[in-house]
Structure 1
Amino acid sequence: MGLPCLQEYYYSAQLRPLVCLCSSTYTAGWKDVEGTTVKNMPIPALLADNKLQGELLVSDDPMQDILLKSWQEIVKICRVGESSKLLRWCAHDSDFAPNKSDGRFNQWTSKGLTTYYSFLYKINMVWEGTFYRYLQVRHYFNQNLKKAFEKGESGFLQIFLSLLKSKSCNKFISRLYNSILQSKQESTEYIKKKWEKEGNVTISVESWEKISRLQWISTGSNTWREFCWKNVVRFFVTPVQKRHQGGGDACWRLCGSNGADHFHIFWNCQVIKSYWKQSFPSPGGMGDKQWSNNYMRIKEVCQVMKVMCNVNHTVLFLIK
């Protein structure tokens, strides 16, 4: 039996009362005690509007503040992004200017037109004298929210919206927890971009996956697997990172270069470049400059990573 991720499980437990407070179908005595509004503002209207939360000083209410902070953390973990703005209410959206001068948008909330999602499925609910306001909402949606909607709902948002319509509170936490795990998007894309920027190279997704996979299939030693993986994910501190401590950013191999980043330390330093040339001889007639531009091709990168996994004395020399 696998152990749960306690952080996500904690956030799921924190979101359960928030779902109950936001749900119009869920009834309980404690909702009347706690209240479903903050300074006469419905709690669902505050979920995706940080500016509105600041204006109402939500932090003054400890319970509501904790619930909304848990929501914000989940939005970050699941990378919901701009899609969460679809949960805003047009009658209270801090970025929707018309609602500040026209209070008749509030009348729509009693008819079920609350979030921008509701407009997508209740487009025929336009009453006499409100068509112009509908056009205002549509224009705002097309200008600011349409791209987020076209990307599709995240798994977490789908579950959250379905729970708001549920009449039962059974398995709220488990459903939220599973949706969070499914929506989490762990990515090393930002690491790949750093290697590309420092080395002035282009690494395809396939090559990056191959580089990562080689760390686990090229050696049976967990010690060297860990070391090589740390190298790939840029774990080791370089002179560029330590320059803020007043030590400068000169290469510690005394090669005379400044700005010694990860790419320089492990690949491009003049002290170790001779090793790479010996391991991967340049084609006949190719000058040093041309070789330097070609030896970091992705295919060779993969081969180099494999060498680093197998040749222990080489790895020790690289970090010496």
Structure 2
Amino acid sequence: MLLALATVWGGSFFFNAIAVQELPVFTVVVSRVALAAIILLMIMRLRGERLPRDRRVWVAFLGMGFLNNVIPFSLIVWGQQHIASGIASILNASTPLFTVVFAHILTSDERMTRGKFTGVLVGFAGVAVMIGMDALRELGTGIVAQLLCLGGAISYAFAGIYGRRFRTMGISPMSTATGQVVASSMILLPIMMLVDQPWTLPVPSLTAIGALIGVAVISTALAYVLYFRILATAGATNLLLVTFLIPVSAILLGTLFLGESLFARHFVGMALIGIGLAAIDGRLWRAARDVTIHPKGTPN
């Protein structure tokens, strides 16, 4: 499920890059969450399920939709107007770094360890390398766009921690996925009508419409079913490690179909973020240590 989630989420950066060439930010984001909401509501109806009506649950849906859709979707699409989809996806891979820090402060069962602290430092060094020294001299359009994507990653981190409450509330992953995109649509629709005034926009091409359908069906509806199912069993930090896998598909799609290219510092930054995430996860280091201490063929 982690690999599947990484693949479909990686596709969202590709679809965004196509749609944003013809449509403004909020129109892209509203199309994404509204179409996903319709699809998920239809699936729930076919399965004989209903969304909860409890006011407390809908307050939680609104909070999750705001943190997991409204803020990050808008910031990332905004950023993708000026930077390549691969760069946006690599910056998005910093989400677990922020999650570790915030989970240490806000939760009692996901505390910071020495390995996680080291991983955070190395990962943030990777983010700094990616953004580059230009940020110290001036905030150009490209720098601002990267910072917007980084803001989306921070919002995702808060969402991963906030979303833990649905397990204790007894809300199914399907209801959570559907409820949050319905809530997001309710928040974003009036903003889109006020800011973008979609009735004044030219009719988008079939390519742009196809991108909107792809990002809604594949990268949102399907992705969130997987997201909340994994969150219910693996925890916020483990779930968001999937963000390191996302750039692989995003970079491949951007290179093959959009003609994008990345600089050496972007790959160095991604490598540092990857090392940091491996340190946070810890399993790779533990496996290497076990092999070193107990070589194959020797008794444990």
> Does 1 or 2 have the higher relative contact order (CA < 8 Å, sep 6+)?
2
Q: State the TM-score, normalizing by the size of structure 2.
A: 0.26
The structure whose Rg is larger is 1
Q: Hey, which of these two has a bigger chunk of helix by percent? A: 2
TM-score by length of 1: 0.25
